Amino acid sequence: MKIVLLGYGKMGQLIERFALKRGHEVVLIVDEENRDSIELEDIEDADIAIDFSTPHVALDNISLCFEANLPLVVGTTGWYDHLEEVKETCLDANQALLYGSNFSIGVNIFFHINKLLAKAINPYKQYDVQVEEIHHIHKLDAPSGTAITIAEGILDGIDSKAGWVNSVEGSGEEVIPKADELLIESLRIEEVPGTHTVLYSSEVDQIEFKHTAHSREGFALGAVIAAEWLYGKKGFFQVTEMFDFNK
């Protein structure tokens, strides 16, 4: 495939490496230096785009790809408030977009088991639950998109929780969740690639369910595999659809 990379930070560079290794061609790299000069004709001859940019330009990148009839994999998070309108635009225009908070195979297995665990614990009201996420200090959004996906999986299975709230360590703002609120605690520590923990606590014991990323390589490889999966399709997809274990 001829790939356009939207965003060329550490993730973009890793994605380029895995794309080339898997026999693809990176025909254009778009970053902060040249984003304002990119025109429609610059991307029209490509086969697919992969976006790991920043939340404030992700929507513009999506619009540009739709206009160019270019399938798009979006790994950038922080724009999900506009998810429904993007989905509607994508389907109305017969475009192709796959988005996800995390493209790691291990994390997507984690997502699946997280939902099963929530449903298994739901009858036992003595357990309270919270989510903790740790990332590197360069991450722009909090909570992480992965943590939000985990929280949504818990909310689907735990009747006692109606929504989630976020507490960012070091922000100076104390967040005390209500009884029906799921707490997502965000920590930013040096160069941590990503650690997510679900904690179920009762007076007599605690259950910890954790995923620890050792590097960003799993995310990058997963993004390239996602582009291969999306190529030739039309529609609006979530990365979890690549890992449908019920099929």
Residues assigned a catalytic role: 135, 139
Collapsing DSSP to helix, strand or coil, 180 comes out as coil
What DSSP character marks residue 50?
E
Q: What is the DSSP letter of 156?
A: H
CA separation for the pair 228, 216 (Å, rounded): 19
Specify whether the CB–CB gap between 16 and 29 falls below 8 A.
Answer: yes
**Helix, strand, coil % in the chain, rounded to nearest 5:** 40, 25, 35
The token duo for 40 is: 């429609």
